[in-house]
Amino acid sequence: MDFNGAQMATILEVAKKAGVSKATVSRVLSGSGYVSQAKRALVDRAIAETGYRPNLLARNLATKTTQTIGLVVTNTLYSGNYFSELMAQSARIMEENGRQLILADGKHTAEEERAAIQFLLDLRCDGVIIYPRFLSIAEMDEIVSRHRQPILVINRRLRLNDSYCIFSDQHAASAAAVAHLIARGHRDIAFITGSLDSPTALERLSGYKSALAQQGIALNNGLIVEGKWNAQSGMAAVDALLAGGQAFSAIVAGNDEMAIGAIKRLTECRIPVPSAVSVIGFDDIPLAPYTVPSLSSMKMPVTEMIKETINRLVSMLDGGELSKRPAFPASLIERESVAAGPHCPADKARG
């Protein structure tokens, strides 16, 4: 029965209508085996006239493929620009590869991320991609090793299955942003983290600390404020920094939304950007060139990572061999929100 209560046509009825055998109809539906153009036209017309819809489950069991790829993402990422690019690129590249994308919500815990993966496996997705937030490295290595269907991980580096992960070095990207500010003459650099239950936020914070240590700059915990990945938390972070009374000439924000919020609050407080405080964000969202001043940002290679993930997964499904590759590098897109700091030798010389 269909959803309106009407009896659905069967493959036998299609065969009778077309005047061909059930086997011929099956070959037309599966695209396998030779069928003459004349008979194919008869079957297509019979399908249209009877309203026949193939049983996808039965067809999938017969062909052992569904042409679907599952994607698990926690819903805490849904509202950000990063997620929009992740989904847009995933859908586009899946379509180019002739496959359908199925999204499953990883929700709020490691157990719920596990359940989402299992849901996609139960749907017989040919492969699954995970953008994890709560599962540990050890748990993901165990999941990848245990299942027959290929499971690839984005944005985390696995220890036992390094061919199954595609990642960008968040620590190195953050260290590069801080090192750039130091080279421009900044020493008192504040850092607005993302939510600290996020591995990405922790890695970016670690990179900030490492860059300071490498240049012999003492860590000042009073210049570190936790944000929540949104512009409002960037504004609140500036309020917290100003209330703390610690001097700073630059801010690195854990993503562009927080950086934009920080610029807004600094401007409202009559602290000009970048002449008084320089600001760098992460992700290089589409809005970044259009803020006032335009936002400098560490561009993360989301498109390249998604393309590599899907191509690698498709290659596996087609019987190809995996080969690991190094982390995808981020790149600094410098715009108007960064200027020379108070310790810039060139500025002192001009003065």
Contact, 81 vs 287, CB < 8 A?
yes
Which part of the chain has CATH 3.40.50.2300? 68-167+302-330, 170-296
Amino acid at site 124: R
pLDDT category at 2 given cuts 50, 70, 90 is very low
Query: Residue 23 above 90 pLDDT?
Result: no
Q: In the CATH hierarchy, which top-level class contains the domain 170-296?
A: alpha beta
Contact, 191 vs 224, CB < 8 A?
yes
Which part of the chain has CATH 1.10.260.40? 11-63
Cα–Cα distance for residue pair 341/324, rounded to 1 Å = 40
The answer to which of 94-98, 175-179, 300-304 has the lowest mean pLDDT is 94-98
Mean pLDDT of 342-348: 67
Pick the residue with more confidence: 7 or 162? 162
Give the residue among 91, 97, 102 at the shortest CA–CA distance from 56. 102
* CA terminus-to-terminus distance, the chain: 83
Q: Is pTM, for the whole model, over 0.85?
A: no
Placement of tokens 């970044």 in the chain: 288
Q: What is the mean pLDDT of the chain?
A: 85
> What superfamily does domain 68-167+302-330 belong to in CATH?
Response regulator (3.40.50.2300)
Pick the residue with more confidence: 47 or 33? 47
pLDDT at 6: 41
Contact, 129 vs 309, CB < 8 A?
yes
Q: In the CATH hierarchy, which top-level class contains the domain 11-63?
A: mainly alpha
Pick the residue with more confidence: 168 or 31? 168
The helix-helix angle for 81-96 and 302-317 (nearest 10°) equals 40
Integer-rounded Cα Rg, in Å, for the chain is 26
Which strands form 100-105's sheet, in the order they lie side by side?
Answer: 100-105, 68-73, 127-131, 151-154, 165-166
pLDDT category at 89 given cuts 50, 70, 90 is confident
